[in-house]
Amino acid sequence: MSVIKVQNVSKRYRIGLKEKKSETLAGQLANLIKSPWSNLKRLREMSRFGAEDESIFWALSDLDFEVKQGEVLGIIGKNGAGKSTLLKILSQITDPTSGKIEIHGRVASLLEVGTGFHPELSGRENIYMNGTILGMTRREIDSKLDEIIDFSGVEKFIDTPVKFYSSGMKVRLGFSVAAHLEPEILIIDEVLAVGDFEFQKKCLGKMEDVSLNQGRTVLFVSHQMDAIKSLCKTSLVLEKGKINFIGDIATGINMYVGSYKVNHSVSFYYENNKPSITKVDFDPTYSGLRFLIEYKSPFFITKPVVGIVLFNQEGSPVFGSNPRFHKSDSLPLSSKEGVVEALVDGPELHSGIYKISIWLGDISVDFDVKQHALTFEYISDSQYVQKPNPLKMGSIDKVFKWNYLR
């Protein structure tokens, strides 16, 4: 039985354009005089869509798919692919420009931090308000209240106005409310990334319980491919507002990763007045992580040292390494230029987009730094909910092997 049917759904927006400015003083004065009428005309045209022009943007175009009862659908796509727009339409926050949707059952959605919360009401009052919106009686909400508060972990602040909650607390309470008030359809966007690892693990376990044991339908959007892979059996891959693929999760992830352009190599302009990093290469064929860092200097660096810090897609440091603190397989030699190889075998990373920052210095001084110099995609075979948290902050001893190639 299909609980969601999407038929020829498209969504169109009008985007703002840069105003044309006159180059002469007389032209600018004329524009100033005409501006009240011009502004009124633009205001009237905001909701009118005539002929296609550069101000028209199609966020979604002719989507057709169905979701069956109890199915867990992973919605995958790059930023700007239309994922959030689709979820807003399915949550009935916004209407499609054309096409229609059919939804059979109560929908609970968590699309943004604090979605559905009244900031002036306490956490407890917001639970009752959300339950009422879902059509539940006070008695039904009462029966779930303790379970919701306990799962969220914000019991100490449950009678505090939500406007004083941190983003993590809002996500905890929001997910707990959405998952426990017995909706037939649960829609979750990327917001779980705000929570810590333990809470993410709890949420994934709860979504699995809601779908497998309670037969409810889950639509899950995430950039964390290991989370998608462990939870979902079916994928819907969006690209530029269109469905690129719908089917088994493994094929969907492969298509998504294959479409993601990453910079495996980046070069930098050499300023000949100071030691500088000139090029960084990432080797995607290596079984672990392999980087080649080239540098130049106007003078001899006695002990050239290159350091690396790896950042996850949320911008948090995962781990770092630096020969100042770690033994390398070959000793750095005094030089004006060189290539340093950095190797790490089999890192237990989550699948996702990673960036590296590179430092160049000697044994005690930094000469150059390239923040987020290079971006790459890493796909892990690990199961998200079964692995210990590998995203440790700071430096891990003896992670990289450092080889000075020349």
pLDDT surpasses 80 at 356: yes
Note the pLDDT of residue 397.
Answer: 39
How confident is the model over 154-167, as a mean pLDDT? 90
CATH number for the region 2-8+66-259 comes to: 3.40.50.300
Q: Topology of domain 265-404, per CATH?
A: Coagulation Factor XIII; Chain A, domain 1 (2.70.50)
CA distance 60 to 8: 10
pLDDT tens readout for residues 294-328: 999 998 888 888 888 888 765 677 888 877 766 55
Q: Which long-range contacts (CB under 8 A, 24 or more apart) does 277-280 make?
A: 277/306, 277/358, 277/360, 277/368, 277/370, 277/373, 280/356, 280/358, 280/370, 280/373, 280/374
Asked if 6 contacts 64 with a C-beta cutoff of 8 angstroms, the reply is yes
Q: Give the Cα separation of 216 and 222 in Å (integer).
A: 19
pLDDT at residue 359 greater than cutoff 70: yes
Tokens standing for residue 391: 């995203």
Q: Are the C-beta atoms of 177 and 115 separated by less than 8 Å?
A: no
What is the token pair recorded at 348? 């237990």
Average pLDDT, the chain: 79
- Identify the pLDDT of residue 391: 39
DSSP state of 19: P
Residue 340, pLDDT > 60, answer yes
pLDDT for residue 228: 83
What DSSP designation does 213 have?
A: I
The pLDDT value recorded for residue 329 is 54
Q: What percent of the chain has pLDDT over 90?
A: 22
pLDDT digits 0-9 by tens, 18-72 = 555 556 666 666 666 666 666 666 555 555 555 555 667 889 999 999 999 989 9
84-108 tens-digit pLDDT = 899 999 988 889 999 999 999 888 8
Listed by start position, the domains of the chain span 2-8+66-259, 19-45, 265-404
Least confident of 9-23, 182-196, 368-382, 385-399: 385-399
pLDDT value of residue 45:
56
Over 50: is that where the pLDDT of 239 sits? yes
Q: Global pTM?
A: 0.60
- Which of 8-12, 171-175, 310-314 bottoms out in mean pLDDT, i.e. has the lowest? 310-314
Cite the beta strand spans of 34-151 per DSSP E. Answer: 56-68, 72-76, 98-103, 107-110
pLDDT at 390 (0 to 100): 39
* DSSP letter (8 states) at residue 88: H
pLDDT in tens, 176-210: 888 887 788 988 887 665 556 677 778 888 888 88
* pLDDT value at residue 342: 86
Contact 126, 162 (CB under 8 A): yes
DSSP states along 329-385: SS----EEEEEEEEEE-S--PPSEEEEEEEEEE-SS-EEEEEEEEEEEEE---S-TT
Distances (CA, A) of 386 to 31, 219, 324: 64, 22, 35
Span 257-293, pLDDT tens digits: 666 556 788 898 887 788 999 999 988 777 778 899 9
Q: Is residue 98 classed as helix, strand or coil in its secondary structure?
A: strand
